[in-house]
Amino acid sequence: LAYSQVLGIQKYEDLKNELVRIQDDYRKSSAKPQEKREFNGLIADIDFKEGEINRLTEEISNLEEDRVFKRHNSAELQSKLIREGDMMSADELQKLNDRKEELGIVLREADDSLKDLYSLTPLGLAGGIMAEHATQLETEKAYKQNKLQLEGVNDKTDVILGDIEEAKKGLHFSIDIKTRDFYELQIRQLIKKHFYNVSDESKFEHFSTLHDFSQGQIDEFTHIIAKIKDSKSSFENLINKYTKAKSELYTIEKNIREAEKKAESDYVQDLRTRKENIDRQIDSIGIEIGKRQSEIESFKEQVIAHKKQKEILSKKINVSDQNRAVDNEATRLINTIQKFLIRFKDEKKKALAKKLEAKLQSYLHKTNLVKKVIVDINGNGDDVDICLFGYDDKKIDNSILSMGERQMFASALLSALVDETEIDFPVFIDSPMQKFDPQHTKNVLTKFYPNVSKQVILFPLLKKELTEEEYQYIQPIVNKSYLINNEKDGSHFVEVKPENLFEEYNNSGYAN
């Protein structure tokens, strides 16, 4: 939805929806009592369900905030437990937590990919029927080709016999009917024998067409069959990846638990009990969020169905003469906007794909990683799908990208969107170089940050997320720099000269 708004699609969708609402009001006022009741009922249902979607979305947002707060409390208690157990340093704990987050992302992505494969399960279970179906479609295709070939042979034979009849007119002697019929039959049989496979005709003697698919439908069915065949190796790879990540996650959690076991005081027991209670609450919140997300999907499907019913009913209602001109004008404008949106989305997705492709090839140090980018904008523009393709023309599985490559992809997408919107808004970036290797770091500092916007604000941890050597890449174009000074009465910004940033930091009490 954010992409849709930034790209300028949403305002046209909103305009079209407003025209549809106005048109509905006029048609509703012209409807018969029964039609009006049905029409009002559909509108009330749609409004109610959209209200429920908004309510559930807000509840999910509140639950997410509560979960973030509780996770923070759980992490604080975990830190206390580990400190009491004297098992590992704060840095070691941070590394474990960072790795735990990465593994969580891997597991979620594997889950999503597995859900896609699960949708093929019913088709896989019906493999025998699918195979019979494929055989039938192949035979039907061959039957059609055979029929067309036979028709062509018969047509050509008729032309040849016609030419012979014309040539007979110039003869000075007559040919009796039996002789003529004999040669005509021989010509037909010989042409069929030498220009058409007679055995094919006998093969289809008792054949009947069951499906009569178009070539497009045949291609789509063949694609599904290929997808089912490929799903086995994809499934195995995902399971291996999932199992490996799950095993590593288990080891990390086990290490944390072992550290906790070292401390058995009442104080530690209390900490552990509080943490377990909070963790249960976090799990419960996750379940509640899942329930609400499921309800939202159900309401969305119902809203789509009701809107289609309303559209069908709206077309049946004849507006009064007084409102007909307005209704016709609204219809014309809605059609114009719909046609424009088709072209506009097509232009936007091509332009965004081209810009994103250029950015990725510029930023990534693996020059042979991404060859092509395809952007697809579905529905009302609130579903933007971005697919990357490698030099083997196969879609790149996002899970194979390193964390640095993923962050570079996000940076390239942000930069492409800024270019495409032509809006000069400031860009704020937290932890800017956290996941990058040295080459990616140089690329992002010299190519991305200087060009992504007229004003770029970075929030790095000095020496950890931005070293003094890396800072030299951007120092000449830094306009202002600040250190955050932490004191008893709170924190405040201290402006320092850009060229003296690291010198001032090293002289402060926080450098080590």
Instruction: Judge whether residue 137 has pLDDT over 80.
Output: no
pLDDT on residue 352: 84
Residue 495 pLDDT class (50, 70, 90 cuts): very high
Give 47-98 as a DSSP string.
Answer: HHHHHHHHHHHHHHHHHHHHHHHHHHHHHHHHHHHHHHHT-S-HHHHHHHHH
pLDDT on residue 320: 58
Instruction: Judge whether residue 213 has pLDDT over 80.
Output: no
pLDDT digits (tens, 9 = 90+) for 425-481: 788 888 766 556 666 778 778 887 888 888 999 998 888 888 888 899 899 999 999
User: What average pLDDT does range 145-149 have in this prediction?
Assistant: 70
The pTM (predicted TM-score) of the whole model is: 0.40
Number of other CB atoms surrounding residue 312 within 10 Å: 10
Q: Residue 349: is it exposed, middle or buried by C-beta count within 10 angstroms (0-12/13-18/19+)? A: buried
- Give the distance between the most distant pair of CA atoms in the chain: 128
Per DSSP, 445 falls in state I
pLDDT digits (tens, 9 = 90+) for 321-373: 566 777 778 888 888 988 888 888 888 888 888 888 888 877 776 667 788 88
**Helix/strand/coil for 317:** coil
pLDDT on residue 123: 66
User: What average pLDDT does range 8-17 have in this prediction?
Assistant: 83
Helix (H) or strand (E) run with residue 157 in it:
helix 127-168
- Share of residues in the chain with pLDDT > 90 (%): 8
